[in-house]
Amino acid sequence: MRVNWNFPLPRAGYKGLIDKSIGPGATKDEKNLQLFVPLLAGLALIGVAYFGRYSWSWSQYLVAYVLAVDMVGGIITNSTSSAKRWFHREGRGVKQHLGFVAIHFAQLALFSWVFLGSDLWWVFITGSYMMISAGIILKTSLHMRRPVALSLYALSVVLTSHYLDSAPGLEWFLPLFYLKLLVCHLLKEAPFRPQMNANS
């Protein structure tokens, strides 16, 4: 096992879009994990919701499935070595990372619209915690970033468990949402590469 911050250039066409989403040079193991596990998670959620008789509409089933796939997939993808060296490459700083995090206001708004009756106060509170926490993490010295990120994530679990509304069967959404962004994406970690993949 070795550390390699050098990555191949993204491929042309739609494959290049995939490379920029998961990191150029992703290994077969990384690709399989981030493809199949999220799909299974989404199907499991649909099964739980159906047999649990949550009385969701078809649009709620669709949105819940998409969010489950994205949350689980995002946790896995942002944790891979290929993604770490791509998203934390030279030239990617606080502005770029905060921009990436801010995009996820859209997911909070979608969740609120479909499951909470468009509760804008909920979007404001959850989004503010997301942005403030991200800013704190990114301004923290690199050697302290992991414990600070995990502390803020732990606090988010307490807040989402006791003080922020959710929907039946979707209590997992905010904990996974914050895990994906505050821990999996923002932490810069050494991109370990398998020896058999010496050129990637």
pLDDT digits (tens, 9 = 90+) for 48-92: 999 998 999 999 999 999 999 999 999 999 999 999 999 999 999
Domains of the chain, residue spans? 2-197
Q: What's residue 194's pLDDT?
A: 87
pLDDT digits (tens, 9 = 90+) for 111-152: 999 999 999 999 999 999 999 999 999 999 999 999 999 999
Q: What is the mean pLDDT of the chain?
A: 95
Q: What's residue 34's pLDDT?
A: 97
Closest CA to 152 of 143, 140, 164, 163: 140
HEC letters along 124-175: HHHHHHHHHHHHHHHHCCHHHHHHHHHHHHHHHHHHHHHCCCCCCCCCCHHH
Number of other CB atoms surrounding residue 102 within 10 Å: 13
Closest CA to 196 of 8, 22, 23, 27: 27
Q: What's residue 200's pLDDT?
A: 62
Q: Measure the CA–CA gap between 165 and 171, rounded to whole angstroms.
A: 9
Which secondary-structure segment (H or E) carries 69?
helix 58-79
Q: What's residue 58's pLDDT?
A: 95
Q: Region 6-21: what's the mean pLDDT?
A: 95
> Quick check: 195 pLDDT over 80?
no
> Quick check: 198 pLDDT over 80?
no
> Quick check: 196 pLDDT over 70?
no
Give the phi and the psi of residue 126 in degrees, each rounded to 5: -65, -40
Q: Measure the CA–CA gap between 117 and 69, rounded to whole angstroms.
A: 22
